[in-house]
Amino acid sequence: MQTLWKTDPEVARCIEEEINRQDRELILIASENYASPEVLAAMGTPLTNKYAEGYPGRRYYRGCEWADRVESLAVERALALFGADHANVQPHSGTQANLAVLMAALKPGETILSMDLAHGGHLSHGMKINFSGGFYDVVSYGVEPESGLIDYGRVRDLALRHRPRLIICGASAYPRVLDFRRFRQIADEAGAVLLADVAHIAGLVAAKLHPDPVPEAEFVTMTTHKTLRGPRGGMVLCREAYARKLDSRVFPGMQGGPLMHVIAAKAVAFGEALRPGFAEYQQAVVKNARALGETLRARGFPLVSGGTDTHLLLVDLRERGMTGAEADVLLEETGIVCNRNLIPFDPLPPTKTSGIRLGTPAATTRGLGEAEFRRVGEWIADVLEAPGDAAVRERVRKEVRELTSAFPLYPSLRAAWARPG
Ligand SMILES: *Cc1c(COP(=O)(O)O)cnc(C)c1O
């Protein structure tokens, strides 16, 4: 984008440096991924200029012929990918998708049963200062202390005791398979509606590497930018009986005009996910997470629940006498980027935490395989075992840089955004 360097070098520089940072560093943030150049290109188009409030064929503005076509493509492809009755591709984010479902399924003051944030749940499932905790009555379930697995017996007890109108399953930091069928049975017994929030695992679900929530839940929400590898955004799938209500809660209930450039990019990403290479990619994501987890365990780092079935791991640092906030800073010095994360029953606050969360989607997109992820596991262990040793971090930093150079990211974008001269 050479013209931006002329008109606005300050912003051009931020973009150039961020592209270079993403290329140079090893991203293990479980919620991040690299959208394809085609997905990025669709976002950077004049579709952003168009006001298209409403839905295809029912817009409040003229000139929506191509907006209609591209949104219909996104919906058709979403349905082909996930096999639901109805899809709404307009939510600007995963949180917005959840807000729309809460508005469709509940009246203010009614009760939600959802996973405790401290055990891996999400802000939008009922955190106190989030809209979901402010407008609804929230009861939470968690994992068993010993196994780190969801305590389904307790979920059932809470459901029968509190009779929630809505049960939410799905999490941001749960490394194991979710038993949607069990949640369905509990919801039926308690007379509740079920929302499966598969924000993190949407790509695994699409590739059939995780049990399918669509047959079990009235509503399924997701983000399009995590394992699904699309643009930043959200989506809701629902049963036919809720379709009209849900659409009216998305618009005009909680949003105005849809982001048509992002919806075009969602269509591109869903198209990519329908192609055969996508399932192979998701398989690699899961295998890589296992290889990383096995390496860390062999080096004496316990994992919450003992391992992973998915793309993410939660490393328990309590025995190391180190906080998650210390660990993520040490690792960032070496170019390994992850986040501190609460572990279940964490004695420390969310600003410190006793764990780190690691995920494989982004680095797998770059092409790293199991052998590379074993090396990454060794580096993480080397760095966290010797927090006082800057020389270890310097060695790892060099090795990380060699590895990322061997798997270059966005070469043509790097060239396009490079500072002129
Ligand atoms: C990431 C996430 C969301 C929300 O996504 P945003 O797009 O950041 O709003 C919702 N639910 C779960 C479980 C998530 O992990």
Give per-residue pLDDT as tens, 143-172: 999 999 999 999 999 999 999 999 999 999
CATH value at residue 384: 3.90.1150.10
Judge whether 13 lies within some domain: no
Judge whether 32 lies within some domain: no
Q: Is 249 a catalytic residue?
A: no
Last residue of a domain, one of 217, 250, 273: 273
User: 312: domain range?
Assistant: 277-407
Say how many residues make up the chain: 421
Q: How far is the CA of 160 from the centre of ligand 1 (A)?
A: 28
Q: Say if residue 265 is in the same domain as residue 284.
A: no
- Among residues 232, 245, 287, 318, the one annotated as catalytic is 232
| Joined tokens for residue 7 | 């008109």
Q: Say if residue 133 is in the same domain as residue 256.
A: yes
Per-residue pLDDT tens over the stretch 331-382: 999 999 999 999 999 999 999 999 999 999 999 999 999 999 999 999 999 9
Per-residue pLDDT band for 61 (boundaries 50, 70, 90) equals very high
Q: What is the pLDDT of residue 1?
A: 76
For residue 88, list its beta bridge partners. Answer: 236
Q: What is the pLDDT of residue 259?
A: 98
Last residue of a domain, one of 227, 253, 273: 273
Per-residue pLDDT tens over the stretch 104-150: 999 999 999 999 999 999 999 999 889 988 999 999 999 999 999 99
Q: Which atom of ligand 1 is nearest to the CA of 96?
A: 9
- How many folded domains does the chain comprise? 2
Are 102 and 136 within 8 A, CB to CB? yes
How far is Cα of residue 201 from the mean position of the Cα atoms in its chain? 7
Q: Say if residue 332 is in the same domain as residue 251.
A: no
Q: Say if residue 203 is in the same domain as residue 61.
A: yes
Q: Say if residue 363 is in the same domain as residue 265.
A: no
Q: How far is the CA of 236 from the centre of ligand 1 (A)?
A: 12
Phi, psi angle pair for 54, to nearest 5°: 110, -155
What is the C-alpha separation between 15 and 36, in angstroms, rounded?
17
Q: What is the pLDDT of residue 43?
A: 98
Q: Say if residue 355 is in the same domain as residue 285.
A: yes
Judge whether 170 lies within some domain: yes
In sequence order, which residues have a C-beta less than 8 Å from that of residue 59 and are 6 or more positions away?
A: 52, 53, 67, 68
Mean pLDDT of the 12-20 span? 97
Q: Say if residue 187 is in the same domain as residue 225.
A: yes
Judge whether 147 lies within some domain: yes
Q: Say if residue 236 is in the same domain as residue 365.
A: no
Q: Say if residue 267 is in the same domain as residue 287.
A: no
Q: Is 68 a catalytic residue?
A: no
Average pLDDT over the chain, rounded to an integer? 97
Ligand 1, CB within 6 Å, residue ranges: 31, 93-95, 98, 122, 124, 170-172, 197, 199-200, 223, 234
Q: Say if residue 396 is in the same domain as residue 264.
A: no
Per-residue pLDDT band for 203 (boundaries 50, 70, 90) equals very high
Q: How far is the CA of 349 from the centre of ligand 1 (A)?
A: 21
Judge whether 34 lies within some domain: no
DSSP category for residue 222: E
Judge whether 144 lies within some domain: yes
Judge whether 420 lies within some domain: no
Lowest mean pLDDT among 123-132, 246-255, 313-322: 123-132
Mean pLDDT of the 167-190 span? 98
pLDDT of 421 higher than 90: no
Q: Say if residue 398 is in the same domain as residue 369.
A: yes
Mean pLDDT of the 193-213 span? 98
Positive or negative, the CA dihedral 294, 176, 340, 353 is: negative
Protein residue closest via CA to atom 15 of ligand 1: 172
Last residue of a domain, one of 249, 273, 297: 273
Closest by CA to 22, choosing from 421, 419, 326, 417, is 417
| Joined tokens for residue 35 | 């959208």
> CB atoms < 10 A from the CB of 387, how many?
16
Judge whether 24 lies within some domain: no
CATH value at residue 174: 3.40.640.10
Q: Which atom of ligand 1 is nearest to the CA of 31?
A: 1
Protein residue closest via CA to atom 5 of ligand 1: 94
Q: What is the pLDDT of residue 2?
A: 86
Mean pLDDT of the 81-90 span? 98
**Type and span of the H or E element at 58:** strand 58-59
Q: Which atom of ligand 1 is nearest to the CA of 225?
A: 7
Mean pLDDT of the 171-189 span? 97
What is the C-alpha separation between 118 and 304, in angstroms, rounded?
13
Q: How far is the CA of 325 from the centre of ligand 1 (A)?
A: 21
Q: What is the pLDDT of residue 243?
A: 98
Q: Say if residue 309 is in the same domain as residue 400.
A: yes
